[in-house]
A and B are shown apart, each in its own frame.
Chain A
Amino acid sequence: MKKLLWAERQKIRRSNIVWIAVFATVMVAVIVFLGGQEVYDGSRNVDNAGWYMTMAQPWATFFVLPAVIALLGSYMICREEQEDTLKSLRLIPVNEANLTAAKMIVTFAFSILLYLLLFAITFLTESILHFSDLSVEMVLSFLKAYFLDGLGVFLAIAPIIAFVSCMKKGYWLALLFAEIYSFAGLFMSMSNFLKAFYPITAVFTISGYYDASTSQVILSCISLLFCGCLSAFILKSHCLLFASR
């Protein structure tokens, strides 16, 4: 497993997808900053302590980052088939289940890193604008929220990556599914039950962006864990099917 992870790291170094994902994250931060120029109650939105760090979370999650992470994951899995390297890997022999698991772990790490990058950008901007208004407690709670966002978003989109990796050729589908799926979260936040149950908004219930009761947090945890188990199940059954051929 260690070797597989090392190999994945080497493969990803050569491809520029990582930089593209970073570019998308930076752009989201810039765009939300632009949106914060709106004047409300006599002061710009970005001048309120915490506004930028709070708002970057939902905007990034409803519109851009889940799709980018799903694209990253499905690209890594589909490219072996597409570039015809899977055959050579099978000859080595590499266990395909372990290979996919290694790819999922890399995607998971990226999901968290992208959110932490977003946190770093928003935090630095806020501290340049008004350092004295920030408290250590607030910053730490945001750090925790962003970390949980990254973790939750990976779990929420894992079934999509797993499903697409079964089809091998469907990275377009991964992108579109993930986009519509995360976008639908905007509507799910209208009802309290759906808000806690729908995986994308469940991420916010757990991270603390929404004020939620304990039962809602538990429901969200169950929903996200279910997503994780579902993706593991899809990958497992697919690999078994493949081995039996």
Chain B
Amino acid sequence: MLRLIQTEFLKLRRRKLVWLMLSSALFMPFFALLYFRYVKETGGDPIQFYRWSAFGYTLWFILPVVLGTLCTMLMYEENQHDMLKQLWIVPISKMEYFFSKFFVVLIYSICFMLITAAASVMFSVLPGFVTFEWGSVLYLLKKCLEIGIITSFVMLPIMAIAASQKGYILPVTITLVYVFLGFILMTVNMYLHPLPSMAVIVMRNGDIPGLVFTQAINIPLAFLCICVWNIVAVLLANIALGRRK
């Protein structure tokens, strides 16, 4: 398994776009910088800044879309160059293949959030919006790691869909719809969709301002929601990859 993951990373080396996509991690911290410079004052509270730079749209939108695209890309390129046949001949177990790709997404997601965290600290401390404190930086790092890890699990269904399709258009479109659905369902029911459930887990203590929960916070239920979606996704991937010749 470890060797498979290593191979996956070696394959990534050649793709520049994957590394280019990491730069979208800078988008929200940079925007937060502009926002606090021209529109609002932070009042020295780092959480206010981080709420914009890391816990806002990065969590809801940018990271899921980037991960969804990455999932599709990883699955599609192999298919396109007709490499799958050779991989089956090696032989590689189909689920091992699926999970090795998932690990790439997991590690990519963590890297993405770490870059966001580093950029948030840089963009808040260098212009002097907040003073540098280890306490708040560690808190940001902890939350970013949580977001990075859980979001990769949230995107597992997209990976399963990408594995079951030959093209790239359907999975990519479903990514957009899936993320948008999660965003809207937040106000309706938080435990129907993995994305709001992830937000519930990350913001469980209610210490991040600006987000009003419409329902009581129930961590086990949120985990259950993510697990159910993931189990269905893995089953789907298993069936779909099993059918591939």
Q: Is B177 on the interface with A (CB-CB < 8 A)? A: yes
CA distance A35 to B186 in the complex (A): 9
Contact of A24 among B21, B27, B62, B173 (CB under 8 A): B173
- A191 CB to closest chain B CB (Å) equals 8
Map CB proximity to B onto A11-32 as digits: 1 under 8 Å, 0 otherwise. Answer: 0000011001101100110011
Q: Is A173 on the interface with B (CB-CB < 8 A)? A: yes
Q: Is B152 on the interface with A (CB-CB < 8 A)? A: no
Q: Is A38 on the interface with B (CB-CB < 8 A)? A: yes
Q: Is B176 on the interface with A (CB-CB < 8 A)? A: yes
> B180–A63 contact, CB under 8 A?
yes
Task: From known contacts A176-B24, A180-B62, infer whether A34 and B185 are also in contact, taking CB-CB under 8 Å.
Answer: yes
Q: Is A6 on the interface with B (CB-CB < 8 A)? A: no
Task: From known contacts A24-B173, A31-B181, A71-B172, infer whether A190 and B39 are also in contact, taking CB-CB under 8 Å.
Answer: yes
> B57–A23 contact, CB under 8 A?
no
- Most chain B beta carbons < 10 A, residue from A28, A170, A172, A180: A172
- A166 CB to closest chain B CB (Å) equals 16
Contact of B57 among A20, A28, A183 (CB under 8 A): A183
Map CB proximity to A onto B17-43 as digits: 1 under 8 Å, 0 otherwise. Answer: 100110010010001000100010000
Which residues on the B side are within 8 Å of A172 (C-beta)?
17, 69, 73
Map CB proximity to A onto B166-201 as digits: 1 under 8 Å, 0 otherwise. Answer: 011110110011011101110110000000000000
CA distance A35 to B180 in the complex (A): 11
Q: Is B61 on the interface with A (CB-CB < 8 A)? A: yes
Q: Is A102 on the interface with B (CB-CB < 8 A)? A: no
Which residues on the B side are within 8 Å of A27 (C-beta)?
177, 180-181
Which residues on the A side are within 8 Å of B35 (C-beta)?
187
Q: Is A151 on the interface with B (CB-CB < 8 A)? A: no
| Interface SS majority for chain B | helix
Which residues on the B side are within 8 Å of A71 (C-beta)?
169, 172-173
Report B47-70 residues with CB < 8 Å from chain A CB.
57, 61-62, 65-66, 69
Contact of A179 among B20, B65, B183 (CB under 8 A): B65
Which residues on the A side are within 8 Å of B168 (C-beta)?
171
> A68–B180 contact, CB under 8 A?
no
Q: Is A148 on the interface with B (CB-CB < 8 A)? A: no
Map CB proximity to B onto A162-202 as digits: 1 under 8 Å, 0 otherwise. Answer: 00000000111101100110011011001000000000000
Which residues on the B side are within 8 Å of A154 (C-beta)?
none
Task: From known contacts A38-B188, A67-B176, A180-B62, infer whether A20 and B17 are also in contact, taking CB-CB under 8 Å.
Answer: no
Q: With contacts A63-B176, A68-B176, A179-B65 known, what are 7 further pairs, Cβ within 8 A?
A: A20-B173, A31-B180, A34-B184, A64-B177, A64-B180, A71-B173, A75-B169
> Contact residues of B with A, CB < 8 Å?
17, 20-21, 24, 27, 31, 35, 39, 57, 61-62, 65-66, 69, 73, 167-170, 172-173, 176-177, 179-181, 183-185, 187-188
What are 29 of the A-B contact pairs (CB < 8 Å)?
A24-B176, A24-B177, A28-B177, A28-B180, A31-B177, A31-B180, A31-B181, A31-B184, A34-B185, A35-B187, A35-B188, A59-B180, A59-B184, A63-B61, A63-B176, A64-B176, A64-B177, A64-B180, A67-B176, A68-B173, A172-B17, A172-B69, A175-B172, A176-B24, A179-B65, A180-B62, A183-B62, A187-B31, A190-B39
Closest 4 CB pairs of A and B: A35-B184, A27-B177, A24-B173, A63-B180
